[in-house]
Amino acid sequence: MRARVVSGVVAVSLAAVVALATGCGGGSSSSSSSGSSSTVSAPTITVQPVSQSVSAGSAVTLSVTATGDGTLAYQWYKASAAISGATSSSYAIASAASSDAGSYDVVVTNSGGSTTSSTATLTVGTTTAASCDTTYVDSVLGAVSTLETALGGSLTSSTLYDSSTYTTAQRNVYKTDWSNLPPGALSFSRPGITLASVTTTAQIAAFNALAKAALSTQGYADFQGVLAADDYLGYTKNASGYGADLYHVAFVGTPSETGAWTLMLGGHHMAFNITFNSGCSYPTPHHIGVEPRTAFTSNTHTSNNWYDAGSYTVLANKAAAMLAVFGGLDSTSLSSAFLSGQTFSDILIGPVEADTGSYSTVTTRFNAIASSSTRGVLVSGLTSTQQALVTAAITQFTGDYDSATAARLLSDYQAGYASTYVAWANSAGTYSSSGPDVSSNGTYMRIDGPRVWIEIAVQNGIVIQSQTHYHMMFRDKTYDYYDQLAD
């Protein structure tokens, strides 16, 4: 099977499982009075190889755990072809290249026969950014410069975590200091300054211009809506610890056209983490949520400096697009997509790495999901109409950023549809033919690909307890934080 390169990512379809004849030791199953025979069973695989998505140059190890009588022998295969010298329980690649992408399995053999593992897909992303248009980063840099001028020297130093003052380890911790919780529920401080510190007309205008430059029209609408909703909770509903003035802006690394740095816009129910490297943008991890889920009217606590006056129904388009994915499935596929026996009280891979500077916790969770027996239904097995609904749902998240970034990411994610799953769950853990219901606590939906990870969790309201509210997560398994955190 030949690998296919699409937009900087090698996409491959699953290899057919290698079919091997299994021999039986000890002869037939008949017995006689003069003696008895014993049978040696073929090995049993207890831990299967796990699919992985890595950047070019990364070290990769595929492994299997098996039990059985006698000596166990191993042979690894890539796309059904035996790999020379790959004859142990693990197969290591010191520096992954695009040619290493593909489907792998391993055959474990003893005197009783052979057992073939499940297939693990290795996706190798490119770190080349030369093809990226610098129009986007130049626009953001212009807005950053204007904001820094408006803030002045003392506040500028509070927003910037550059390499001349902070170590790489310190900057990595700041990158992970985001959460889906309000400030009072955190054990750490979000980096940067709050909007409460952005007070003059020039500062407010400069910050709004930065948000508009960093986000698409769609993304900026989400941004404004979340701020309006937090003000609604804090000042219409008088909830302590909520409000637009508690949201933050920070720069981790020195902003430049060619260097690596991150723009962080965030607070409760929002984390835009946009890393720029050599002019390319990598806008994940991205968390967004909202309470209330239904329509509300904004108040004037901040004189509408951060959002327009009027009625808001925030994140409705994102939720509707995900619901459409499952609404478009036939009954068999809807049942196959259900995560039977699994329940979710929140997003599964939210800020699990918060305040650590490490990505290891995230990797562990992704590996556990990849090795699980139930991940949902494969997108590649859906009709073209159903696949279009999946694409539309992904676009609701990639489309929060500039058009070039959105197109690049979407192309990469579509290239992985052969290994991309859609799945859903409810609070009961038992299948219902009615499908997901966002008015019901515990409803959960996700898209899980070689790189793309999108999930929506529906929870009871915290302040407005009479209705549910959303938490949503968008990750790129290869390019979260531009793959710069320690594992």
By the 8 A CB rule, do 427 and 457 touch?
A: no
pTM above 0.95, yes or no: no
- How far, in Å, are 160, 168, 252, 347 from residue 175 at the CA level? 12, 10, 7, 20
Model confidence pLDDT, tens digit, residues 466-487: 999 999 999 999 999 999 998 7
Instruction: Report if residue 284 sits inside a domain.
Output: yes
Q: Give mean pLDDT, residues 191-217.
A: 96
One domain, residues 193 and 319? yes
- Quick: pLDDT tens for 84-114: 999 999 898 977 887 888 889 999 999 999 9
Predicted confidence at residue 126, as pLDDT, reads 56
Checking if the pLDDT of 415 tops 90, the result is yes
pLDDT score recorded for residue 342 = 96
Same-domain pairing of 350 and 430:
yes
More confident residue, 206 or 52: 206
Tell me, yes or no, whether 176 and 256 share the same domain: yes
Per-residue pLDDT at 295 exceeds 90: yes
pLDDT over 90 at 174, yes or no? yes
Do 234 and 279 lie in one domain? The reply is yes
At 153 the pLDDT is 85
**Is pLDDT of 161 > 90?**
yes
Q: How many domains does the chain have?
A: 2
Say how far apart CA 278 and CA 128 lie, in whole Å: 9
Q: How confident is the model at residue 223 (pLDDT cuts 50, 70, 90)?
A: very high
Whose CA is closest to 354, among 168, 188, 169?
188
- The Cα 391–Cα 34 span in angstroms is 68
Render pLDDT for 251-269 as a digit per residue (tens, 0 to 9).
999 999 999 999 999 999 9
| Alpha carbons 96 and 149: distance in angstroms, whole number | 44
Query: How far is Cα 484 from Cα 100, in angstroms, rounded to an integer?
Result: 21
Strands (E), 393-478: 421-425, 444-448, 452-460, 468-476
Question: Containing H/E element for 205?
Answer: helix 201-214
- For residue 414, give both structure tokens: 């579509």
The strand pairing partners of 161, in sequence order, are 252
Same domain, 184 and 111: no
User: For the ranges 10-24, 222-236, 302-316, which has the lowest average pLDDT?
Assistant: 10-24
State the residue range of the domain holding 335.
135-483
My answer on whether 48 and 195 are in the same domain is no
Amino acid of residue 299: N
Examine the fold and report which residue of 94, 125, 156 is the final residue of a domain before the chain moves on: 125
Q: Is the pLDDT of residue 42 over 60?
A: yes
Q: Is residue 14 part of a domain?
A: yes
In the structure, what pLDDT confidence band is assigned to residue 121 with cuts at 50, 70 and 90? confident
The reply to whether 178 falls in a domain is: yes
For residues 322 and 340, membership in a common domain is answered with yes
Domain shared by 366 and 314, yes or no: yes
Residue 130 placed within a domain? no
102 and 206 assigned to the same domain? no
Residue at which a domain ends, from 78, 104, 125: 125
For residue 55, the domain's CATH number is 2.60.40.10
Shared-domain flag, residues 171 and 96: no
Which of 78, 100, 125 represents a domain boundary (last residue)? Answer: 125
Contacts of 121 (CB under 8 A, 6+ apart): 12, 14, 51, 52, 102, 103, 104, 419, 450
**Domain contains 352:** yes
Q: Are 152 and 109 in the same domain?
A: no
Q: Does 49 sit behind a cis peptide bond, omega within 30 degrees of 0 on the bond before it?
A: no
CA–CA gap between residue 475 and residue 454 (Å, rounded): 6
pLDDT bin (cut points 50, 70, 90) of residue 9 is very low
- Residue 16 inside a domain? The answer is yes
Lowest mean pLDDT among 15-29, 34-48, 393-407: 15-29
pLDDT of 33: 35
DSSP tag of 318:
H
CA atoms within 13 A on the CB side of 41: 6
Q: In this structure, are 305 and 449 located in the same domain?
A: yes
> What's the pLDDT score for residue 57?
64
Digit-coded pLDDT (tens) for 426-467: 999 999 999 999 999 999 999 999 999 999 999 999 999 999
> In the prediction, which pLDDT does 38 show?
65
pLDDT digits (tens, 9 = 90+) for 44-100: 998 888 877 766 666 678 889 899 999 999 999 998 899 999 999 989 897 788 788
Do the Cβ atoms of 451 and 416 come closer than 8 Å? Answer: yes
